[in-house]
Amino acid sequence: MSRPFLSIRAVRKTFGAFVAVHDVTIDVPKGEFLTFLGPSGSGKSTTLYAIAGFQDPSSGDVLLEDKSLLSVPSHKRNIGMVFQRYTLFPHLSVAENVAFPLRVRRRPDTEVKRKVGDMLGLVRLEKFADRYPGALSGGQQQRVALARALAYDPPILLMDEPLSALDKKLRQEIQAEIRRIHRETGVTILYVTHDQEEALHLSDRIALFKEGRIEQIGTGEDLYLRPVSEFVAGFIGNSNFLSAEHLQTTAGAATVRLADGSIVTGVKATTPFGQGQKVRLMVRPEAFRLTPGPASAALAVEIVDTSFFGDRRRVVARTAGGDEIDVRPTSDAQATDSATTSGQRIFFDPASAFLFPA
């Protein structure tokens, strides 16, 4: 196996008795877009700050191409970063902001000029070169910040929730820009966000943080289709959790009894459960059908609400056990007005459901 480009080794950060990051270890290949996803306070930003040099880890190491970064002060790490807040220098024009890292590196004027032109072209803000940050929108400011962070061709670009201050439409626009820039520059990106959609949209891999630890790391598909815990299943995508009791497992296929007494067989069980153990059955909203398919399990529900979102329909149903579940029928046939009724049945393929300890 080739040596990892960036290696985060057993990084731990404590604040007094509080452990913010528990021995996080990740290897990042060159050119990867890796996202640290997690709720606030899960240690994702702290880990990023250790790489940036803002907070030294209490123990562990960060290696870039086999050389430790920890003894290198921030300004010599040669790392690019885009921050959550707008951090452009207000007294400098857009062009001078982008030129700043090159000026402190004493690069010749001709090179600075060319590079600033390239960078502003990359973020499509050539026309704004002479404006001052105060005259730009939030989205434009973050694009300038991106240009500034990439101007000196850093091997790693850190992004700390750069879009959280923007509205949804703008966020999607800039996400597309970030994807394009990642493609065009091939820079290795470590991206922090608490927005799972953003993480799924942007990343090659996602490291999901929980209470200072990495709960699961893998591609978006890994996390979505093969969650290792209820936390992962709940954080990535929308999920429905149904209380159930585990009856038996044979050859990885579990049989459970739901709260309403119905029996579901053929559920994937990744961990062993005891007989009679309380469990939670997780079913994605899009896994539900309004019409029975082959080998499907059925749930007696009452349809509470149906709403239309243009490209899809959302149905809220309530089980006999009182759990509210989110159903997202995938085809038109299913969507055809399944009016609000009680005594309705919805169906799902047990093979697409997951079982977690309660």
Partner 1 sequence: MPGNSLSRSSVAGLPAGTGGALPALMLVGLFFIVPVVALLLRSVTDPEPGLQNYAALFGSGTYVRVFLNTFLVASVVTAVTIVGAFPVAWMLAIMPPAMGSIVFGIIILSMWTNLLTRTYAWMVLLQRTGVINRALIGLGIIQEPLPLINNLAGVTIGMVYIMLPFMILPLVGTLRAIDPMTLRAAALCGASQFEAFRRILLPLSLPGIAAGGLMVFVMSLGYFVTPALLGGTSNMMLAEMIAQTVQSLLNWGLGSAAAFVLLAVTMALYAIQLRLVGARRAGGGL
Q: What residues line the site for partner 1 (CB under 8 A)?
A: 52-54, 73-81, 83, 85, 87-91, 100-101, 103-105, 145, 148-149, 152
Sign of the alpha-carbon torsion through 116, 118, 119, 121: positive
Crossing angle (nearest 10°) for helices 109-122 and 94-104: 130
Is residue 10 within 8 A of residue 182, CB to CB? The reply is no
The residue (of 148 and 313) whose beta carbon lies closer to partner 1 is: 148
- DSSP letter for each residue of 206-226: EEEEETTEEEEEE-HHHHHHS
Query: Could you tell me where the DSSP H helices lie in the chain?
Result: 44-52, 94-104, 109-122, 138-150, 168-185, 196-202, 220-225, 230-235, 332-335
The residue (of 122 and 223) whose beta carbon lies closer to partner 1 is: 122
State the nearest-atom distance from the C-beta of 188 to partner 1, in Å: 15
State the nearest-atom distance from the C-beta of 105 to partner 1, in Å: 6
Is residue 267 within 8 A of residue 254, CB to CB? The reply is yes
Find where tokens 């959302």 sit: 314
The residue (of 3 and 105) whose beta carbon lies closer to partner 1 is: 105
* Count of C-beta atoms within a 10 Å radius of residue 175: 18
The residue (of 81 and 192) whose beta carbon lies closer to partner 1 is: 81
Rounded to whole angstroms, the Cα distance separating 82 from 84 reads 7
The residue (of 62 and 81) whose beta carbon lies closer to partner 1 is: 81
State the nearest-atom distance from the C-beta of 10 to partner 1, in Å: 24
The residue (of 92 and 316) whose beta carbon lies closer to partner 1 is: 92
State the nearest-atom distance from the C-beta of 83 to partner 1, in Å: 6
The residue (of 49 and 354) whose beta carbon lies closer to partner 1 is: 49
Nearest 10 degrees: CA dihedral of 47, 52, 53, 57? 10
State the nearest-atom distance from the C-beta of 101 to partner 1, in Å: 4
Rounded to whole angstroms, the Cα distance separating 154 from 101 reads 11
Tokens representing 27 are 């290897």
State the nearest-atom distance from the C-beta of 51 to partner 1, in Å: 11
Helix then strand count (H, E) for the chain reads 9, 20
State the nearest-atom distance from the C-beta of 125 to partner 1, in Å: 18
In Å, the largest CA–CA distance within the chain is: 76
Rg (CA), the chain: 24
The residue (of 77 and 284) whose beta carbon lies closer to partner 1 is: 77
The residue (of 79 and 267) whose beta carbon lies closer to partner 1 is: 79
State the nearest-atom distance from the C-beta of 286 to partner 1, in Å: 40
Crossing angle (nearest 10°) for helices 94-104 and 138-150: 20
State the nearest-atom distance from the C-beta of 46 to partner 1, in Å: 14
Burial class of residue 342 (count of CB atoms within 10 Å of its CB; 0-12, 13-18, 19+): exposed
